Amino acid sequence: MKNRIFLSLLFLLFFAEAVVLFLFAFRDTDHAQDAVLVNEAVHSVQEDWNRIDSHQNQTGLDYVVLDGDGTVLYRTRPGLSESLNAAVIHRDTLLDLWSGGRTVGKLLIYNDSAKNFRRQKQNILLFLAAAMLLQGVLCAGYVFYLKRTVIDPFRKLKGFAQRIAGGNLDIPLDMDRQNLFGAFTESFDLMRTELKKARQAEARANADKKELVAELSHDIKTPVASIRAAAEVGAALADTERLRDNYTQIIRKTDQISTLINNLFSATLEELERLTVTPTDMESRELGPMLENADYLHRAAIPAIPGCVFYGDRLRLQQVFDNLFANSYKYAGTPITLSAAIDGSHLIIRMTDQGGGVLPEELPLLKEKFRRGQNAARTEGAGLGLYISDYFMREMHGELLIQNSAHGLQADIVLALSG
């Protein structure tokens, strides 16, 4: 509807401009004098011929009265043609004046067509300038409308897709259901929700698998250990070399089974190491938009970040910020204080909340796999966010430091400066 209104207005403006230009191009500028007013002027001058000095112009026309010798007897205003030659050049109207049955003089009626033409030209130019200004305003407004309703949503979708590709399913997509892509963006966020449910189901399944592996390893290790112990006793009591070799073979196989069980248990914990990190040189001015994207609840003021070049992976660094803000939202739920400073060869981004922090003995465990503080007992999560973030920071030659502050938990994202 808005598009049709905008296009209709532009079409009407264009049509009006075309009409005005057409009339201006084909209009005759040599306007004829009003015959009635001319006759009235001639009649009034002839009546007042004998008292021409007291003659009053009642017609609104500009004219000059000459006697038979060409002398000016009367003029309505200065600046008019005052000779027959000048009147002919200016294309004025020349009429004879009669009195007593004979020609007594000339009436030179001023030709004002050029003046009227200039006035019309000025009005047309003003109209065209106003119309073009209005068109410019409409086009600028439409460009702003397109930016807000088309370009900006697609940019958000691009960042959203990068987060989804990076495995971050916690941050919702901002939606405006009133714009052109409202339903489209809502579908993307529904996809995120379903993917998050699937990921949580997968995490639960993996946790169940790990628990099953742990239980099986325990249950299997017990009889294997018994078999090994019996084999050791048998080897010690064997009276022949062949029997002793058989018991020794049993011992080797039980050790092999124990190794396989340990490897099976450890393999379930090594999947996270497959995430690739590709750091490159980045400018510090890129950090502001990344922090803004991560702080989707707007609980922090973005600080002034010192100008520098550091070593980082855009996607993985965005995931680090996303994980830290998400943790603060879930476990603290308070305003967040951000600061940025250069310390030696590192740029440090510090995040501090006011949630009270964690127990001192829990701090060294927060960055381990599947470890969470006591304040997370009733909060959804897998205990991998800080572990992944710490892994990413180490791969970018940086560091993630977690400690308690005066009022809450403090996270320092330490980025290595290039060079």
Q: How far apart are CA 9 and CA 137, in angstroms?
A: 12
| pLDDT at site 265 | 54
Distance in angstroms (rounded) separating the CA atoms of residues 100 and 49? 10
Residues 264 and 284 in one domain: no
Which pTM does this prediction carry? 0.43
Judge whether 259 lies within some domain.
Answer: yes
Q: How far apart are CA 302 and CA 292, in angstroms?
A: 7
Containing structural domain, residue 54: 35-110
Is 19 within a domain? no
What CATH number did the domain enclosing 362 receive?
Answer: 3.30.565.10
On whether residue 404 sits in a domain, the answer given is: yes
Q: Which of 78, 110, 142 is the last residue of a domain?
A: 110
255 and 345 inside one domain = no
- Both 323 and 401 in one domain: the answer is yes
Tell me how far apart the alpha carbons of residues 92 and 142 are, in angstroms, rounded to a whole number.
52
CB 382 within 8 A of CB 369: no
Given this model, what pLDDT does residue 413 score? 96
295 and 405 within one domain: yes
Q: Check whether residue 257 and residue 287 sit in a common domain.
A: no
What single DSSP character describes residue 102? E
User: Is the confidence at residue 414, as pLDDT, over 70?
Assistant: yes
Q: Is 389 a residue whose pLDDT tops 70?
A: yes
pLDDT above 70 for 183:
no
Per-residue pLDDT of 85-130, as tens digits, reads 888 888 888 888 888 888 889 988 888 776 777 777 788 778 778 8
Structural domain ending residue among the three candidates 224, 240, 269: 269
At residue 173, the pLDDT reads 64
**Dmax (CA) of the chain:** 173
262 and 307 both lie in a single domain:
no
Please identify, among 110, 142, 162, the residue that sits at the C-terminal boundary of a domain: 110
Average pLDDT, the chain: 79
Q: How far apart are CA 235 and CA 230, in angstroms?
A: 9
- Cα(185)–Cα(289) distance, rounded to whole angstroms? 21
Instruction: Look at the chain and report how many structural domains it folds into.
Output: 3
pLDDT at 394: 93
Asked if residue 170 is part of any domain, the answer here is no
pLDDT attached to residue 308: 95
In a shared domain, residues 194 and 298 = no
Indicate whether 384 belongs to any domain: yes
- Does one domain contain both 378 and 402? yes
Residues 195 and 295 in one domain: no
